[in-house]
Amino acid sequence: MRGWISRASGRRDEVILEARRHGDDDAGDEAMTGVGERPSIAYQGEPGAYSHAACREARPDFEPLACPTFEEAFEVVESGGASCAMIPIDNSLGGRVALVHHLLRDSSLHIVAEHFHRVRHCLLSIPGADREALRRVKSHPHALLQCRERIRELDLEPVESFDTAGAAREIVEEGDPTVAAIASRIAGETHGLDVVREGFEDHPNNVTRFVVMSREPVNVDPAAGPCITAYVFEVKSVPAALYKGLGGFATNGVNLSKIESYLDASFSVAEFYIEFEGHRRSPAVRNAVEELGFFSTTLNWLGTWPADPFRRGGNGPRVLE
């Protein structure tokens, strides 16, 4: 692992897991509780990234902990260096975050909550730059994808960067007035950039769904309200295995809300990630999952968590400016 970014200074520190490998069993206690005994929540990216904003919205009492990669965000929670992690899983414009789905499949962590965040991109430039002279634009690949029509309108060359807030920092460091960045307003303010255009995304319904990952599953009361449950499974290599395995959800009235597929290196064995409405302990869900198990070689539960009100048209996702 490459190390992570400390919560206050942005300085890269040695990863807690490495310290523990060298015999320091107390390493990570501060990271897990945070400053002033606050628990910490890991996220991928730099301060000002949309994942950082989601942490502030969904867990305002937690200390955000920036990590350079998704892998490190997962690993710091698994090692006890943070209480949980805020991980983007899919976007209404860009689709699924593919790397995250592979990490979900292989991780020991559980999904304990979800959060919908309204993404409002800004086109940013260094102070005093001529807007007509912009030639390139840097950002995370998903942000570039969400703004591809706007980028084409301005005839800009898209350049991939590690994350949105990092792209904002990079154009300041480079000082090239022909290079812009796509990031949040708070990332622009953090780095002293000018806002060339706000609401730069192609469509206004740009929403990213995050899941909160923790070492222990949450104990959700089935009577408390709607729930979402997730599993990862590998189907048997026989005709109609997926069709028959999912048939139990239809016959038991369980609504599937998401399905994603994986292939192994041989392209011969299929694995799937599914989410559905319902509590793991409800009779309908238990019957559906039992049926799925008959046609699967592996079946792993990832978590059951309260459905976010956004699913029911309640309080919409907020924008943190």
Question: In which residue are the tokens 């979900």 written?
Answer: 104
Q: How crowded is residue 119: how many other Cβ atoms within 10 Å of its Cβ? A: 24
User: Using an 8 Å Cβ cutoff, are 124 and 251 in contact?
Assistant: no
Active site (annotated) includes residue 276: no
Question: Looking at this protein, which amino acid is placed at residue 310?
Answer: F
Q: How far is CA 90 from CA 206, 211, 311, in A?
A: 11, 10, 14
Q: How crowded is residue 201: how many other Cβ atoms within 10 Å of its Cβ? A: 21
- Reading the block at residue 210, the tokens are 């995050």
- Give the 3-state secondary structure of residue 195: strand
Question: Looking at this protein, which amino acid is placed at residue 206?
Answer: N
Which one from 164, 190, 208, 304 is the annotated catalytic residue?
A: 208
- Report the alpha-carbon distance of residue 155 to residue 149 in Å, rounded: 10
6-14 CB contacts, 8 Å cutoff, 24+ apart: 6/66, 7/34, 7/35, 7/40, 7/63, 7/64, 7/65, 7/66, 8/35, 10/46, 10/47, 10/66, 12/68
Listing from the earlier edge strand, what are the strands of the sheet with 136-139?
Answer: 157-160, 136-139, 179-183, 122-125, 194-198
Active site (annotated) includes residue 304: no
Pick from 117, 122, 11: which is nearest to 58 by CA? 117
Which one from 162, 200, 210, 249 is the annotated catalytic residue?
A: 210
Q: Give catalytic residues, as residue numbers.
A: 208, 210
